Amino acid sequence: MSSQGYAFADVADVRERLRETGYLADEAIATTVFLADRLGKPLLVEGPAGVGKTELAKALTSAVGAELIRLQCYEGLDEARALYEWNYKKQLLRIQAGAGAGAEGTAEESSGSAAWRQTHDDIFSEEFLLSRPLLTAIRRDSPTVLLIDETDKADVEVEGLLLEVLSDFQVTIPELGTLKATRRPFVILTSNATRELSEALKRRCLYLNLDYPSAAREKEIVLSRVPELGERMAESLVRIVRSLRAMELKKAPSIAETIDWGQTVLALGFDTMDDAAVTSTLGVVLKHASDQARAISQLKLGAN
């Protein structure tokens, strides 16, 4: 993150500092994060919902002592919400004030292209600029992580807005010129792979594919967040969650929901994941009635 050096000394340093934040990174994650830092490249993290893509950005922010700037993508996102826009109301008031002042002056002062050029230069200045996440991240002087979350949910045209930021870490504003980053942010883009992102965008990034962790790693994650749960309960919980993910559900349980489930059964005092414990708390991990019905049927649970 520093303009004079790098955020991490080596891959082991990445793993250790992420672990200190509560994020357990495997070798592939740690290596890719290290390379993104060392090469100064944006990192595109792709995978199903709930595998820890956004959490990686949050953990990285904490690990390097940065501020997180987040652009949440959605259908209809445009330049005014992603990059910048002008404060049109304030500009209009300035134009009206200028016209009023000109009416009290000489005819020469209140007419002609020179007067309009002066007004134009005035209203298209920093005072009237509304900075949005991309521009805000580019202009910060302190350590920054820019999270462009769920990039695949935005329209294809939005990818064009990102290219200048991702390749040159700059934003061009026609009225002001090109604003270059004085301190490059660490950029993480996430995608749930609901659509294919453009080759132009991918070419500018390093790529990391995240999937659900192995049973052993997920158990380790759960115990790191809910240590009071115990080895046996954590193992049972993870085994059931992995069975749920193997079903054709509308929404498979995320890692965060596995952790929530562990906290739930602990709060309720369950000491075993029997039928009663599972059916009474299934809503913690499955948020669709059809998914719950399928789970009860396929796990052969007795619904209460």
pLDDT in tens, 164-191: 999 999 999 888 889 999 899 999 999 9
Higher per-residue pLDDT: 213 or 5: 213
Q: Would you say residue 117 has pLDDT above 70?
A: no
**CA-based nearest residue to 247, from 199, 282, 196, 210:** 282
Q: What percent of the chain has pLDDT over 90?
A: 75
Q: What is the mean pLDDT of the chain?
A: 89
Cα–Cα distance for residue pair 148/133, rounded to 1 Å: 9
Q: Would you say residue 45 has pLDDT above 80?
A: yes
Give pLDDT, residue 72.
96
The average pLDDT across 200-218 equals 95
Q: Would you say residue 1 has pLDDT above 50?
A: no
Residue reference for tokens 């200045």: 125
Cα–Cα distance for residue pair 143/288, rounded to 1 Å: 40
Q: Containing H/E element for 275?
A: helix 275-281
Give pLDDT, residue 123.
76
- φ and ψ of 186, to 5 deg: -85, 115
Cα–Cα distance for residue pair 9/292, rounded to 1 Å: 46
Cα–Cα distance for residue pair 184/152, rounded to 1 Å: 24
Predicted TM-score of the model (pTM): 0.85
Strand ranges, E, within 6-105: 43-46, 67-72, 84-86
Q: Would you say residue 199 has pLDDT above 70?
A: yes
Give pLDDT, residue 107.
46
